Structure 1
Amino acid sequence: MIELTGLTRRYGRTTAVDDLTLTVHPGHVTGFLGPNGAGKSTTLRMVLGLTTPTSGTATVGGVRFRDLPRGLRHAGALLDAGDVHGGRSARAHLAALARGNGIGVARVDEVLGQVGLDRAATRRIGGYSLGMRQRLGIAGALLGDPPVLLFDEPFNGLDPEGVRWVRGLFRQLAAEGRTVFVSSHLMGEMEHCADRLVVIGRGRLIAEESLAEFAARAGQTEVVVRTPDPTVLVAALTTAGATVRSVADDALAVTGVTGERIADLALELRLPLYQLTTRTASLEEAFMALTAADVEYATGEDR
């Protein structure tokens, strides 16, 4: 379990993390989301003792990470796949981590096989692709078989097979009862692998809830309709209190009435319907709606 209590980090007049209090529970893949500059990486660094909080606490299993002996046995992390010595082999890199944390050398080959790098174990890391370095970083996180795992942008550089593998790995680790905390900008991947979300903006907590609860925050359910005579249907829907807008393929997006009510109106008007689809907000739409005020670098379209 990861617990943050009043966690704050200031750099001069800039507050990177602002009084953050939350709990990341075991048995779940928890996605960690926020716009650029929201404070996600700073938060992860404070959990791991790499950045000192200005105030507040961050604990792993009730203890500050820096106070834990042989830290990789308690928490494993991938923060930067490029933060490795390019002249070493993958096996040598992991063996050094293992020695420093009292982990048997046999575990090195186990995790190399687990992440699919066993055949490249003796190659210099400098010749690895970004995807291979991501796999090596994940191997390092798994090395101590820890109950808590943190990953920052773990999908970067992975091919489709690698992305699918990582999704399955995270779900498996959570099913084993571990705490899995994953920061990513890839909304589609979070939608596929996370079952809970923590969302921050400008260092402050915006949401801490299930994926379904977060998506429901984005607004009303929308019904997409296609008919050969949209003008007549729009007039009837507006009279019934609906809000209607045009979307692609000559369809109408309707909010404020149910799909059943739309079907009844079309029947009364003797209008055929070519499409009647109920659509809920995607994770990306919910995220954009709820963090719009916290985007540090907005384009003209986003302002």
Structure 2
Amino acid sequence: MIEVNELTKRYGSRTAVNALTFRVRSGLVTGFLGPNGAGKSTTLRLMLGLDGPTGGSVTVAGRPFRERARGLRDVGALLDAGDVHGGHTAYTHLRVLARSNRIPRTRVDEVLAEVGLTDAARRRVAGFSLGMRQRLGIAAALLGDPPVLLFDEPLNGLDPEGVRWVRGLFRRLAAEGRTVFVSSHLMSEMEHTADDLVVVGRGELIAAESLDAFAARSGRRTVAVRTPDAPTLTPLLTAEGASVGTDGDGRLVVSGLDASRVGELALRHRVLLHELTTRTASLEEAFMELTADSLEYPTSVEYPTSLEHPTGEPR
């Protein structure tokens, strides 16, 4: 478990992290979310003792990380996939890390195989793609077989197969009882992967709770309707004050009316319904709503989120 208590970091007059308090539980994947400039990378560096806090504390299994002599056996981390000497081979890079942490040489071959880099082990890192560097960084994090793992944007540069592999890896590591803390801007992946969320904005805590609880905090609710008679039902709904769009599967997406009212209108006007479902906000929708006041560089233009042309014609 990772425990963060009143963690604060200031750089001169700027406060990057302000009194953060949360726990990262073992046996779960915890997503770490926030807009650009929210203080996520600074928080990760404070967790690993790479920067000293202005105030507060972070402990990993009850002790600060800096007190651990063989760090890779206690905490594995990927903060920057590009932070590797380009002249080294993948094998040499991992072998140096293994020796400094008294990790057996055989473990190097094991993690190279686990991340799919066995055939590239003797190639110089300078020739690696970003996706290959990410895999090498993940291999380094796994090298000491640690109980706690931290990842900062681990999906950057990975192809769809790689993203799917990482998703499965994180779930497996958590199922083994490890603590897995993942900072990412890819909401769809966090929605598929994370159990808990820690959300920050402008260095302050917005939420520390389960993914479902966070999504439920959004006030956005829509009703999905599948009907063969959409041209009849749509004006009936808009006359009641609803906004009506469509999704990629041909459903009407209704906001401003609840499902019971939509069903009553359809019944009264004898409109056949094949589906009537209430939808809560997606993680991305909840995130955008709940962090709107924490954006470092907010834009002044709003783009439509429903699958509808500005004219109201479906795409």
Q: TM-score range, shorter-chain basis?
A: over 0.9
SS at 1:80 equivalent: coil
Pair 1:148–1:250, CA change in 2 (3 A): closer
In structure 1, what is the equivalent of residue 101 of structure 2? Answer: 101
SS at 1:228 equivalent: helix
Instruction: Tell me if the contact between 1:38 and 1:203 (Cα under 8 Å) persists in the aligned partners.
Output: yes
Instruction: Tell me if the contact between 1:76 and 1:149 (Cα under 8 Å) persists in the aligned partners.
Output: yes
Structure 1 segment 287-302 matched on structure 2, within 5 A: 287-301=287-301
Query: How far off is 1:19 after superposition?
Result: 0.2
Match of 1:231 among 211, 222, 235: 235
Pair 1:57–1:250, CA change in 2 (3 A): closer
In structure 2, what is the equivalent of residue 253 of structure 1? Answer: 254
SS at 1:145 equivalent: coil
Structure 2 counterpart of 1:99, which letter? R
Deviations 1:97-120 (CA, angstroms, capped at 9, x unpaired): 011111111111111111111111
Query: How far off is 1:25 after superposition?
Result: 0.6
Structure 1 segment 58-137 matched on structure 2, within 5 A: 58-137=58-137
Instruction: Tell me if the contact between 1:199 and 1:205 (Cα under 8 Å) persists in the aligned partners.
Output: yes
Pair 1:284–1:233, CA change in 2 (3 A): closer
Identical counterparts, % of pairs: 64
Deviations 1:64-101 (CA, angstroms, capped at 9, x unpaired): 11111101100000000000000000111011101111
* Distance of 1:233 and 1:198 partners within structure 2: 38
* Distance of 1:299 and 1:266 partners within structure 2: 39
Structure 1 segment 26-41 matched on structure 2, within 5 A: 26-41=26-41
Query: How far off is 1:254 after superposition?
Result: 2.9
* Distance of 1:48 and 1:191 partners within structure 2: 26
Query: How far off is 1:59 after superposition?
Result: 1.1
SS at 2:255 equivalent: strand
Pair 1:100–1:220, CA change in 2 (3 A): same
Pair 1:231–1:182, CA change in 2 (3 A): same
Instruction: Tell me if the contact between 1:2 and 1:61 (Cα under 8 Å) persists in the aligned partners.
Output: yes
Q: Which stretch has the larger CA shift, 292-301 or 262-271? A: 262-271
Q: Which stretch has the larger CA shift, 273-282 or 94-103? A: 273-282
Count of residues paired in the alignment: 296
TM-score (norm 1): 0.93
Query: How far off is 1:302 after superposition?
Result: 5.4
Pairing 1:264–2:268 present: no
Query: How far off is 1:151 after superposition?
Result: 0.1
Unaligned runs of 5+ in 2: 304-315
Structure 2 counterpart of 1:255, which letter? G
* Distance of 2:237 and 2:85 partners within structure 1: 65
Query: How far off is 1:253 after superposition?
Result: 1.3
* Distance of 2:302 and 2:200 partners within structure 1: 18
In structure 1, what is the equivalent of residue 310 of structure 2? Answer: none
* Distance of 1:175 and 1:255 partners within structure 2: 41
* Distance of 1:184 and 1:55 partners within structure 2: 25
SS at 1:171 equivalent: helix
Query: How far off is 1:299 after superposition?
Result: 1.5
Query: How far off is 1:262 after superposition?
Result: 1.8
Instruction: Tell me if the contact between 1:228 and 1:272 (Cα under 8 Å) persists in the aligned partners.
Output: no
Pair 1:232–1:113, CA change in 2 (3 A): closer
Query: How far off is 1:255 after superposition?
Result: 3.4
